[in-house]
């Protein structure tokens, strides 16, 4: 057995291509047939806008100016109150810098809040720089690599779009830095005599830690007494984590479909977890809309083509999951069964 202890490729650095054909991609079809203003017409316009990018979504920007949302369009959900769009930005631009620090314009302040590992409730020990906190404890800690998020102002126990003194901050955790998360680094044992998808194995504790560091955090914030910035409300009934192992209820047309019937739920009404969550924003119903990407990285596939129809086999292969595909370097399927409890 060989021990590997190297940094792995991060999920956001892998480009997933699920359309390896000459078929026109969906974005091109949308650009040809629809524009933002036409989508917003009619009773179903706002719902359509959520799925075609017209609602404000944040996270995972690729600076693609070819989007169907024009720079001069008004917000799909306009700001409320006596607010006026400024004609110019009233601050001096920040100079280019390579300094290893955050720099903001004069008169502004930026600070770090809710870093990786922050306990959301009492009874969870503070973060240790030696990374010895348990994998299980991350079910009640801030996850890794914060991404898309939304600020839900609230007044008492009710959502209030105008409120800013008290809020729920809902935030994605898109991927993990394995080598920096575990006290063992990116620890992998190698066995070339094992089945192809099990030739590289990881520790169950490391996998459990990474599973819990993905997903979404919900944190209640309140403005500080001096009016400067926000702080977490510890032990708030709203503070929670949704991880890659949290039980999730399926709804809509997919619920009960044969495509989502698994060993975990043969009825197809539940699944486990959310993973690699990137873009996020406000849904038409005032709820949090979060989207996954790069899902393939945490799945492996053995030698099963003979058990599948030609269509099912092609569906896997078009995503890159050919037989003996081990997934990416997550390797969440590889811990020894005796340790994966």
Domain boundaries, the chain: 2-8+24-69+113-245+277-317
Round to whole Å and give the CA distance between 122 and 332. Answer: 29
How confident is the prediction along the chain (341 residues), in pLDDT tens digits per residue? 555 655 566 655 666 677 777 888 877 887 777 665 455 454 444 444 444 444 455 666 554 443 333 334 443 345 556 667 777 777 888 989 899 888 899 888 888 899 999 999 999 999 989 988 999 999 999 999 999 999 999 999 988 988 999 999 999 999 999 988 999 999 999 999 999 999 999 999 999 999 999 999 999 999 999 988 999 999 999 999 999 999 999 999 999 999 899 999 999 999 998 999 998 988 888 889 998 888 888 999 999 999 999 999 998 998 889 999 999 889 999 998 887 66
Burial of 60 (0-12, 13-18, 19+ CB in 10 A): middle
Cβ-contact 248, 207 below 8 angstroms: no
CA–CA distance, 274 with 212 (Å, rounded to integer): 10
User: Which residues, other chains included, contact 178 with Cβ-Cβ below 8 Å and sequence gap of 6+?
Assistant: 7, 8, 185, 186, 206, 210, 329
Is residue 329 helix, strand or coil? Answer: coil
Supply the pLDDT for residue 192.
93
Q: What is the pLDDT, as a whole number, of residue 55?
A: 46
Structural contact between residues 310 and 317, judged by C-beta atoms closer than 8 angstroms: no
Q: How far apart are CA 86 and CA 107, in angstroms?
A: 17
pTM beyond cutoff 0.85: no
Q: Which residues contact 165 (CB under 8 A, 6 or more apart)?
A: 222, 223
Pick the closest to residue 231 from 279, 173, 288, 167 (CA basis): 167
* Residues 173, 10 contacting (CB under 8 angstroms): no
Residues pairing with 58 in the sheet? 280
Contact present, 53 and 69 (Cβ < 8 Å): yes
Under a CB-based contact definition with an 8 Å cutoff, are residues 295 and 174 in contact?
no
Here the tokens at position 152 are: 């839900």
Q: What is the pLDDT of residue 50?
A: 41
At residue 76, the pLDDT reads 39
- Joined together, the tokens standing for residue 120 give 């959301």
The pairing of strands 277-282 and 57-58 is: antiparallel
Q: Which residues contact 174 (CB under 8 A, 6 or more apart)?
A: 11, 12, 59, 60, 145, 147, 148, 214, 276, 277, 278
Integer CA distances (angstroms), 44 to 39, 41, 54, 70, 290, in order: 8, 8, 13, 20, 20
Separation of alpha carbons 130 and 150, rounded Å? 31
The total of other beta-carbon atoms located within 10 Å of residue 331's CB is: 25
């Amino acid at each position: 057995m060989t021990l590997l202890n190297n940094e792995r490729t991060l999920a956001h650095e892998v480009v997933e291509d699920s359309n390896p054909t000459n078929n026109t991609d969906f974005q091109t079809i949308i650009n040809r047939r629809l524009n933002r203003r036409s989508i917003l017409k009619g009773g179903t316009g706002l719902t359509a806008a959520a799925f075609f990018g017209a609602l404000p979504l944040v996270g995972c920007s690729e600076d693609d100016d070819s989007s169907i949302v024009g720079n001069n369009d008004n917000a799909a959900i306009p700001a409320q109150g006596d607010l006026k769009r400024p004609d110019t930005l009233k601050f001096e631009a920040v100079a280019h810098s390579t300094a290893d620090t955050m720099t903001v314009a004069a008169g502004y302040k930026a600070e770090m809040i809710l870093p990786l590992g922050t306990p959301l409730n009492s009874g969870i020990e503070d973060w240790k720089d030696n990374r010895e906190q348990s994998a299980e404890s991350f079910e009640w800690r801030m996850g890794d690599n914060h991404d898309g998020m939304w600020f839900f102002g609230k007044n008492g126990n009710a959502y209030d779009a105008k409120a800013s003194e008290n809020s729920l901050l809902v935030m994605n955790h898109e991927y993990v830095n394995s080598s920096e998360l575990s006290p063992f680094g990116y620890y992998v044992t190698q066995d070339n005599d094992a089945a192809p998808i099990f030739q590289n194995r990881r520790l169950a504790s490391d996998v459990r830690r990474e599973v819990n560091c993905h997903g979404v955090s919900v944190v209640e914030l309140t403005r500080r007494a001096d009016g400067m910035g926000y702080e977490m409300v510890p032990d708030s009934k709203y503070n929670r984590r949704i991880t890659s192992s949290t039980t999730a209820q399926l709804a809509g047309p997919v619920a009960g479909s044969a495509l989502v019937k698994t060993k975990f739920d043969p009825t197809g009404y539940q699944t486990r977890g959310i993973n690699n969550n990137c873009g996020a924003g406000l849904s038409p119903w005032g709820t949090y809309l979060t989207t996954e990407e790069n899902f393939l990285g945490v799945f492996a596939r053995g030698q099963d083509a003979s058990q599948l129809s030609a269509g099912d086999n092609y569906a896997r292969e078009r995503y890159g999951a050919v037989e003996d595909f081990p997934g990416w370097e997550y390797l969440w399927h590889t811990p020894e069964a005796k340790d994966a409890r």
